[in-house]
Amino acid sequence: MSTTSLESAPAADTATPAARTYLVKTLGCQMNVHDSEHMAGMLEQAGYVAADAAHAAAEDADVIVINTCAVRENAADKLYGNLGRLAGTKRARPGMQIAVGGCLAQKDRAGIVERAPWVDVVFGTHNLDVLPALLERARHNAAAQVEIEESLQVFPSTLPTRRESVYAGWVSISVGCNNTCTFCIVPHLRGKERDRRPGEILAEVEALVATGAIEVTLLGQNVNSYGVGFGDRGAFAKLLRAVGAVEGLERVRFTSPHPAAFTDDVIEAMAATPTVMPQLHMPLQSGSDRILRAMRRSYRADRFLGILERVRAAMPQAAITTDIIVGFPGETDEDFEETLRVVEAARFSSAFTFQYSQRPGTPAADLPDQLPKAVVQERYERLVALQERISLEENQAQVGRTVQVLVAEGEGRKDGETHRVTGRAADNRLVHLALPPAAAADVLPRPGDLVTVVVTHGAPHHLVADSATLPGGVFHVRRTTAGDAWAARQAGSDEHGHGGGAGADGCGTAPGPVSLGIPVIPAR
């Protein structure tokens, strides 16, 4: 038997191939943001590593996933604009893959590849779990892979998750929607409502708290319809109380409820549970009863205002936000004036305002009396001006209030220039707060820490709390387990350079899914 001497044997290649990097970009609502966390978690479980901040900003990654929205027309425009730009990036980077998921993928299917043939993978809202397999199949076959399911295959909350934040997390309590709003395509793309069992939800919340989170937001297309799947109309109020009682959890939020299903037991649970925050997002859509009927919104303006009145009676400091659509087909001047009347009476702290756009596949797209763009634009500007005034007045009324702010990471774009940090008050208002002059490092708040300050200025879209700069001014930092978790993640990122990554527990060190910066559309 022949042998080969050690001296003459070729040296073994011990180098480990570099892990492929990924970037997830998100269009749309909170449900999409949470879905992106699942996509990131599955990619990391499959061995991919999140692109670091510099490479993510340059869109320099081996795999770029765009998680799409189909609710608004500009979301589709945004997708194809991004795909057009990425075509050049892909040509310059051999082996790069582009995947498109989410609601627009569910709707347009193979049409995405037809319009952008450089896309490698298209998958829908019902089969998030197939993403890693489709990427591998596309590489092996050197051909685009399109896989869309008509019904939910795997409940998303059972999938690995790469949490965007270590101090606050989304928790889905249901998926899908049983309503038939004529302007909305979500039920068609997300399917009928399916509820998770309460024990599963509580287990996820407890797991989040165990990894450092102190805030959770419960998600559902109609979050207060929770319980329809197992026949308990009081299930959502019970769930609020149960989640609010989880030890170590300090803030509970939820979005978005539907006015038609909003019951007094939910208001009672909110008021009686200290950890449920005094904040409510309640979509109005229109103040005209006639238009609400045309939208198939099964409530009327007086009922809507009655809910707000009862919420404020139970929680006087509650901040209420909303969604409003301007220019729905057939909307008259009188209808629009009714919307202005309701907005004036409701005193929303802020509003997501939209110009109606025809969405193929929705009943409203085929209605007569589609309004001219100029009419819709003029009404939209009047509504925005009214809401800006109200938002300013409501925020100016906060001056002098002592608030506790959960410091966030990256919400204040001018924080570096103004020497402030940014976070959310209990009522979810955005607060920019000053730091004490020459503050010692041990009193500087970290993302996830809670800071008590006094509001010194109100603007339409934020509050300023510069009490730390005033003689004897209020500034108190409470270090939290959430802040500790954030610091630990940063330390891991510094140690590993590229940011490491995370498994299903969501405690990794890499940057989370990236938002494209379009206005967030709250889930309905």
- Burial of 136: CB neighbours in 10 Å, binned 0-12, 13-18, 19+: middle
DSSP codes of every residue in 19-72: PPEEEEEE-SSHHHHHHHHHHHHHHHHTT-EEPPHHHHHTT--SEEEEEE--SS
Closest CA to 115 of 149, 156, 87: 87
Q: Are 242 and 199 in contact (CB under 8 A)?
A: no
Task: Choose among 288, 266, 287, 270: nearest CA to 279.
Answer: 270
Residue type, 58: A
Known binder of ligand: residue 507? no
SS3 112: helix
| Euclidean distance between CA atoms 173 and 201, whole angstroms | 6
d(CA 394, CA 389): 9
The helix (run of H) or strand (run of E) holding residue 191 is none
- Give the Cα separation of 88 and 83 in Å (integer): 9
Neighbours of 329 (CB within 10 A): 19
Q: Which residues pair with 406 in a beta bridge?
A: 424, 450
Residue 69 counted as an annotated binding residue: yes
CB 126 within 8 A of CB 150: yes
Residue count of the chain: 524
Q: Which residues are annotated as a binding site?
A: 29, 69, 103, 177, 181, 184
Q: Which residues are annotated as a binding site for [4Fe-4S] cluster?
A: 29, 69, 103, 177, 181, 184
